Homo-oligomer: A and B are copies of this chain.
Amino acid sequence: MNPAPTPTPSSEDPTGFADLRPSIESALASACQFNEGCPSRLGDAMRYAVLAPGKRLRPALVLMAAEACGGEMDSAMPGAVAVEMIHAYSLIHDDLPAMDDDDLRRGRPTCHIEFDEPTAILAGDALIAEAFSHLANQIEDPNRIVEAVRTLSKAAGAAHLVGGQADDLAAERDGKDEINQDVKLASKAFTSDSIAADLAFLESIHHRKTGALIAASLDLGAILGGGTNDQRDALAQYASLVGLAFQVVDDLLDFTSDAESMGKRTGKDAERGKLTYPGLLGIEGAQQRADQLIIEAKRQISVFENRQRRLSCLATYVLERSH
């Protein structure tokens, strides 16, 4: 599972982590058995969400960060599984009728369409608990369990993953009247330009909603790979920059792709008046923003020297999705 040499990006594997995916899929399937006492329909819904086809970006980040810190990727797998469970829960709940009300995700019916709404709510709830259970039961060193639970619970909590979604919904529905006042005030302190203030607010949402879990993935990898504090800090910076770039590119793709190639309804964000980067900066401005973020992300991980190739490759990939 630790192949040498580290692969370079290619047309067959633009992400540079395709070789990690079979072991990730296998670990996810094994973790999602939920045998004893789990109602079968609930377990089916949880598996439907976690084992849905996907790139496994977050689990791969856990493994790549562990590798960058000089650790074994196998020992980081419990973190990879737990973060994918949290990601899956957040997608289930974000898609609910009371939230983003989406019927399709990557071309498949969303969980509440395939099953039903109460089952989808409960499957999401159970996945949060199962993620922490997995960390506490599958990692050997108690100190690493404690650090891993701290990192994942913070990222999944009120100030980050959930708080970002709450602000995102508030911004969309209430014309930003009910958004986090602190964020609005902070934005206004830096600039009187309303585009810049909206951009700062948009980035604060994405730093939390998308970025928090990306950052937690890298930090889990660092914890489970035995990283130093300096290494954890460098990965946190990289995470923040790549996470934002990922969102900028997602917004760009929403503007430029058609429904067939994305497998979900596109242009929907714009219809609903949701804040997006191309909406604020134009397509060219958003592209430049993504470019800058990735240059800086690569600078941050130069400290890992020859062990940063996968992370560098991934940063390139995030950018190239938009070209």
**Which of A's residues lie within 8 Å of B, judged by CB?**
34, 36-43, 46, 89, 93, 96, 98-99, 117-119, 121-122, 124-126, 128-130, 132-133, 135-137, 142-143, 145-146, 149-150, 152-154, 156-163, 165-167, 169-170, 178-182, 208
CB distance from A106 to the nearest CB of B (A): 22
Compute how far the CA of A41 lies from the CA of B167 in the bound complex, rounded to whole angstroms: 9
Across the interface, which residues of B come within 8 angstroms of A126, CB to CB?
157-158, 162-163
- Whether A136 and B121, one on each chain, are in contact in the complex, defined by CB atoms closer than 8 angstroms, is no
Compute how far the CA of A126 lies from the CA of B136 in the bound complex, rounded to whole angstroms: 19
- Whether A96 and B125, one on each chain, are in contact in the complex, defined by CB atoms closer than 8 angstroms, is no
- Whether B154 and A146, one on each chain, are in contact in the complex, defined by CB atoms closer than 8 angstroms, is no
- Whether A121 and B146, one on each chain, are in contact in the complex, defined by CB atoms closer than 8 angstroms, is no
- Whether A166 and B119, one on each chain, are in contact in the complex, defined by CB atoms closer than 8 angstroms, is yes
Taking A93-B121, A166-B122 as contacts, is the C-beta distance between A42 and B158 under 8 angstroms? yes
Compute how far the CA of A98 lies from the CA of B135 in the bound complex, rounded to whole angstroms: 31
Across the interface, which residues of B come within 8 angstroms of A98, CB to CB?
117-118, 121
Across the interface, which residues of B come within 8 angstroms of A121, CB to CB?
93, 96, 98-99, 121
- Whether B153 and A41, one on each chain, are in contact in the complex, defined by CB atoms closer than 8 angstroms, is no
Compute how far the CA of A117 lies from the CA of B93 in the bound complex, rounded to whole angstroms: 12
Across the interface, which residues of B come within 8 angstroms of A124, CB to CB?
125
Taking A99-B118, A128-B128, A153-B130 as contacts, is the C-beta distance between A43 and B145 under 8 angstroms? no
CB distance from A240 to the nearest CB of B (A): 14
Across the interface, which residues of B come within 8 angstroms of A154, CB to CB?
129, 133
- Whether A118 and B46, one on each chain, are in contact in the complex, defined by CB atoms closer than 8 angstroms, is no
Across the interface, which residues of B come within 8 angstroms of A136, CB to CB?
146, 149-150, 153
Across the interface, which residues of B come within 8 angstroms of A167, CB to CB?
39
> In the complex, given contacts A37-B163, A128-B129, what are 18 additional A-B residue pairs having Cβ atoms less than 8 angstroms apart?
A37-B208, A38-B163, A39-B163, A39-B180, A40-B181, A42-B162, A93-B122, A98-B118, A118-B169, A125-B162, A126-B158, A129-B158, A129-B162, A130-B157, A133-B150, A133-B157, A135-B149, A142-B146
